[in-house]
Structure 1
């Protein structure tokens, strides 16, 4: 309407959902014959409340009717701010259940009531959050969409409420395992993948998200950093208003079935941290120097960084030098500098002569035999579940097609097309995942033998010597994660048995995948100065 009409009223209702909004109607006897309604759905504050914003603009009505003042705002400051803003436009706010006038006493009473409404709202929020935290600690799902790889199932009834929890979704869980496997070991054709490469590879291979969309860097990063996949789903991690992270002591941990092992999760997290430019300079993670990032001074623990110089003949020399001494001088560390070429050669030669010796590898790999069989059994179980899911989806599709043929359903039904697309996606994704698992089982199925260890050792030696190999440094990190320089003639090499097992487990005729970037500090295969040397 273009001009103000006396007695024209507006009703403002704030509902949690459209379902409740459709069930709620303002009485005509309250609003009168001429009325307009403004609804704000599920908005806890003024930010985003389009209905409330509309009311504050000059409009062709005189009165806004609400059920109670608390339904307009539960924040006393915002309430008074918008009441004054409405008053400038000549609009009054009237409550059906709280009848107050316009005199100073009524204004004071309204302010007191809205202040109590705000207090009550905060108290309710506190108790609700406490109950939800306890619900999560008991292993029950509080609501919202589950993380990819899980689905919601009923866990039983407590009182009048049906409790729900999470279980592994075999279809999407395999996608999660694939992402972790590629992040750690690659796909058999390349080394470990970064976030962008992971997203690109998933999209190129037509592995879709849960909604059938394409992957992005943020979605991949969320999967690689979410503790839910090791069986610990965290609730109450951020403030719902400011989105700021809360202290870990306030988190509620919900136990769920794990999809990956804790070792894999920690390895990926260390890899992401090592390649984060906030923590590791780009030259460390992508530079050409073989030992950059894993070479340290044994005296002070500082990193050994590259230093260059020129000799009397004009030639350029490259050294690993103690960074602490370079920054602080002799007072910081007595330090030392060793030739880069000599140290690189000494480390590679030691790995070739001592670690990559088949008999020694065989002793180190004893635990792998049982692990690989257990892994293969778990994978075969997943294949069975995926094939069952594909068969069920195919059967449902056939029943839909039969219903169309028999005239029970019409092809023009919009929901029918969505259902067919969903079942087709589930069937195709399950088949793709099952084939990928079978392929991975076949690739690592042969038992570790002396011949396979010989091939692995030979391939590792070849790749460590190949200066043209783009993953040479990553291959080295699959065998050792820390080199400590004790003196100009002595260095201590430290490696992780877990990474060594992983490198051999992912090998294909010696073409092992590089672990890369996982900076371990646990002595495993060279733990003591004993007969194993």
Structure 2
């Protein structure tokens, strides 16, 4: 049994275990009992595939509340029920996303945790309460100082050190480069609400953008200047000029005298290899004063420095921390979406309960004719 797992998801651990046991010729059961067929799976294609496989093994899926026998009529009824369940599930998902998008387009804050420098508060929106942001006077100055410090040329490491030395925490945690980078690139600080953008920056995504959704902590000009400054300071990534070269530094070295790339050469004997300036190699002696570089010694030196500066415990711990922060940020965003989905779902359930109550307290039945318009308006 999968506690609180959606019937839309076929990749449920216990569900998978049940299917695997059912595919075994010596399966310990002959019937799978469900409350409703939708609890087996709401995906019609999954239902057909799994039930067909189980049927070949002599195992039936039986619903307690929805009667469907093995007769042609029963099979048709089961197929109709499954199709209706899938339609309901997908239609509800679309309605929820539509509701979230509509709320985002009106400038409400859709994530569960407020960015550093803000507080997440609820405001009245007709009969509902919606989340938005208000300035946290205790931490907002830190945000502006961080942006201004970055614009002055300070890197992430220097700003983090300053904040930690001053005893300023990030919601109880020490400042790290990952969390500071997230702060400095978060458009929310300009007062702009952005919802629906994927974490990978998918170009196909159509995010909702609302300017002036809440009070800004930094100006748009300062934010854009900081983004440009960070791009300018970012290390330039250069692809190797040759892919698959046997020389480790092929395409990565540049001459410190003339700026041309170094190329790797091997002696005819195969016992000696070296790197040579491109100008010197192509135009001959006297065109550049750069020296030949012993390839094995230079490569060994570079590898050793990589081990010292990158493949050490401190750097690895920092990288793990950055990944953990990114996961936490994604989890926070998903948690916020879940909160909104649950609120929308609760609203749908209330409307359904009113509809059921209206039907029960009237003389009408579903089989007796259409529901009166005034009952539908009351339910909504």
- Could you say which residue in structure 1 is the equivalent of 2:371? none
Once the two structures are TM-superposed, the CA of residue 197 in structure 1 deviates from its matched residue by: 5.0
Aligned with 1:55 (options 7, 13, 18): 18
Aligned with 1:258 (options 208, 216, 226): 216
Q: Aligned equivalents of 1:215 and 1:78: distance in 2?
A: 47
Once the two structures are TM-superposed, the CA of residue 234 in structure 1 deviates from its matched residue by: 0.7
Once the two structures are TM-superposed, the CA of residue 130 in structure 1 deviates from its matched residue by: 2.1
Partner SS, residue 70 of structure 2 = coil
Once the two structures are TM-superposed, the CA of residue 263 in structure 1 deviates from its matched residue by: 1.7
Once the two structures are TM-superposed, the CA of residue 316 in structure 1 deviates from its matched residue by: 5.3
- Per the alignment, do residues 83 and 220 of structure 1 end up closer, same or farther by CA in structure 2, a change over 3 Å counting? farther
Superposed CA offset, 1:461-503 (max 9, x none)? xxxxxxxxxxxxxxxxxxxxxxxxxxxxxxxxxxxxxxxxxxx
Contact 2:33 2:63 in 1 (8 A): yes
Contact 1:134 1:252 in 2 (8 A): no
- Per the alignment, do residues 116 and 226 of structure 1 end up closer, same or farther by CA in structure 2, a change over 3 Å counting? same
Partner SS, residue 2 of structure 2 = strand
Once the two structures are TM-superposed, the CA of residue 256 in structure 1 deviates from its matched residue by: 1.8
- Could you say which residue in structure 2 is the equivalent of 1:102? 70
Once the two structures are TM-superposed, the CA of residue 121 in structure 1 deviates from its matched residue by: 2.6
Aligned with 2:38 (options 45, 70, 79): 70
- Could you say which residue in structure 2 is the equivalent of 1:151? 119
Once the two structures are TM-superposed, the CA of residue 74 in structure 1 deviates from its matched residue by: 2.5
- Correspondences of 1:362-401 after superposition (within 5 Å): none
Tell me if 1:46 matches 2:10: yes
Q: Aligned equivalents of 1:89 and 1:156: distance in 2?
A: 56
Partner SS, residue 166 of structure 1 = strand
Tell me if 1:192 matches 2:149: no
Once the two structures are TM-superposed, the CA of residue 157 in structure 1 deviates from its matched residue by: 4.6
Q: Aligned equivalents of 2:37 and 2:7: distance in 1?
A: 16
Tell me if 1:219 matches 2:187: no
Q: Aligned equivalents of 1:232 and 1:268: distance in 2?
A: 16
Contact 2:279 2:287 in 1 (8 A): no
Contact 1:74 1:121 in 2 (8 A): yes
Contact 1:62 1:90 in 2 (8 A): yes
Q: Aligned equivalents of 2:69 and 2:2: distance in 1?
A: 24
Aligned with 2:169 (options 204, 208, 214): 208
- Per the alignment, do residues 54 and 267 of structure 1 end up closer, same or farther by CA in structure 2, a change over 3 Å counting? same
Tell me if 1:138 matches 2:106: yes
Runs of 5+ unmatched residues, structure 1? 1-36, 186-190, 282-286, 293-306, 319-533
Q: Aligned equivalents of 2:164 and 2:58: distance in 1?
A: 57
- Could you say which residue in structure 1 is the equivalent of 2:231? 273
Contact 2:279 2:288 in 1 (8 A): yes
- Could you say which residue in structure 1 is the equivalent of 2:149? 182
Once the two structures are TM-superposed, the CA of residue 155 in structure 1 deviates from its matched residue by: 1.5
Partner SS, residue 121 of structure 1 = helix
Once the two structures are TM-superposed, the CA of residue 167 in structure 1 deviates from its matched residue by: 1.0
- Correspondences of 1:14-33 after superposition (within 5 Å): none
Partner SS, residue 125 of structure 1 = helix
Once the two structures are TM-superposed, the CA of residue 100 in structure 1 deviates from its matched residue by: 0.9
- Per the alignment, do residues 139 and 102 of structure 1 end up closer, same or farther by CA in structure 2, a change over 3 Å counting? same
Q: Aligned equivalents of 2:168 and 2:35: distance in 1?
A: 50
Once the two structures are TM-superposed, the CA of residue 312 in structure 1 deviates from its matched residue by: 12
- Could you say which residue in structure 2 is the equivalent of 1:119? 87
Aligned with 1:162 (options 111, 116, 129): 129
- Could you say which residue in structure 2 is the equivalent of 1:11? none
- Could you say which residue in structure 1 is the equivalent of 2:202? 245
Q: Aligned equivalents of 1:83 and 1:168: distance in 2?
A: 55
RMSD: 4.1
Once the two structures are TM-superposed, the CA of residue 288 in structure 1 deviates from its matched residue by: 12
Partner SS, residue 3 of structure 2 = strand
- Per the alignment, do residues 171 and 164 of structure 1 end up closer, same or farther by CA in structure 2, a change over 3 Å counting? same
Matched residues, number: 250
Partner SS, residue 146 of structure 2 = helix
Once the two structures are TM-superposed, the CA of residue 193 in structure 1 deviates from its matched residue by: 0.4
Once the two structures are TM-superposed, the CA of residue 60 in structure 1 deviates from its matched residue by: 4.8
Partner SS, residue 238 of structure 1 = coil
Once the two structures are TM-superposed, the CA of residue 230 in structure 1 deviates from its matched residue by: 0.5
- Per the alignment, do residues 262 and 87 of structure 1 end up closer, same or farther by CA in structure 2, a change over 3 Å counting? same
Partner SS, residue 270 of structure 1 = helix
Q: Aligned equivalents of 2:6 and 2:215: distance in 1?
A: 32
Superposed CA offset, 1:435-481 (max 9, x none)? xxxxxxxxxxxxxxxxxxxxxxxxxxxxxxxxxxxxxxxxxxxxxxx
